Amino acid sequence: MPELPEVETIVRDLNSRLVNKKIIGIKSSDKKIFQLTPAEVKQVVGKKIRAVRRRAKMIIIDLGGHNLIIHLKMTGQLVYAGKGALIAGGHPIAGQGKKLPNKFTRVIIKFNDDSALYFNDVRRFGWVKSAREDELRQLEERLGLEPLSRDFTLEFFKKFLSHKRKTTVKQALLDQKYVSGIGNIYADESLFASRIKPFRRAGSLEPEEIKKLWQAIPKILRLAIKRRGTSFSDYVDAQGQAGNFVKYLKVYGRAGEKCKVCGLPVKKIKLAGRGTHWCDRCQK
Partner DNA sequence: GTACTTGTTGAACG
Partner DNA sequence: TCGTTCAACAAGTA
Respond yes or no: is residue 53 known to be catalytic: no
Q: Which CB sits closer to DNA, 56 or 107? A: 56
Strands 127-132 vs 267-271: parallel, antiparallel or unpaired? unpaired
Contact 89, 13 (CB under 8 A): yes
Site string for DNA, 169-188 (x = CB under 7 A): --x--x-x---xx-xxx---
Site string for DNA, 242-281 (x = CB under 7 A): ----------------------------x-xxxx------
Please compute, for residue 99, the number of CA atoms within 13 A of its CA located in the half-sphere on the CB side.
Answer: 9
Return the number of the residue (141 or 238) whose C-beta is nearest DNA.
Answer: 141
Catalytic, 274? Answer yes
d(CA 220, CA 170): 15
Taking CB under 7 A as the criterion, which residues in 120-159 touch DNA?
122-125, 142
Of 45, 271, 65, 94, the C-alpha closest to 171 is: 271
Position among 166, 226, 258, 284 found at the interface with DNA (CB under 7 A): 166
Compute how many other C-beta atoms are within 10 angstroms of the C-beta atom of residue 221.
Answer: 22
Q: Which of 5, 8, 17, 57 is the catalytic position?
A: 57
Q: Angle of helix 154-163 relative to helix 207-226, nearest 10 degrees?
A: 110
Q: Is 2 a catalytic residue?
A: yes
In whole angstroms, give the CA distance from residue 129 to residue 142. 17
Catalytically active residues are: 2-3, 57, 274
Residues lying near DNA in the complex (CB under 7 A) are found at: 1, 3, 32, 56-58, 71, 73-74, 93-95, 122-125, 142, 163-168, 171, 174, 176, 180-181, 183-185, 270, 272-275
